[in-house]
Structure 1
Amino acid sequence: METIKDLLAQKGADIWSVRPETTVFQALSLMSEKNVGAVVVLDDQQKMIGIFSERDYARKTIGAIGSQECPRDLPVKELMTTEVVAIKPETGVETCMALMTKKRFRHLPVMENNALIGIISIGDIVKAVITEKDFLIAKMEQYIWDN
Structure 2
Amino acid sequence: MMKICDTCGNEIADVVSVCPFCEHAVAVTFRREPVVRVRTINIESGMPTVEEGRGRLERKLDDARQRGVRVVRVIHGWGSSGKGGQLRSACRALLHRELKARRLRAVVHGENYSRTTGAGRELMVRYSELRRSERTDAKNPGITMVEL
TM-score by length of 2: 0.30
Larger Rg: 2
- The structure where helix makes up a greater share of residues is 1
Where relative contact order (Cα < 8 A, 6+ residues apart) is larger, the structure is: 1
TM-score by length of 1: 0.30
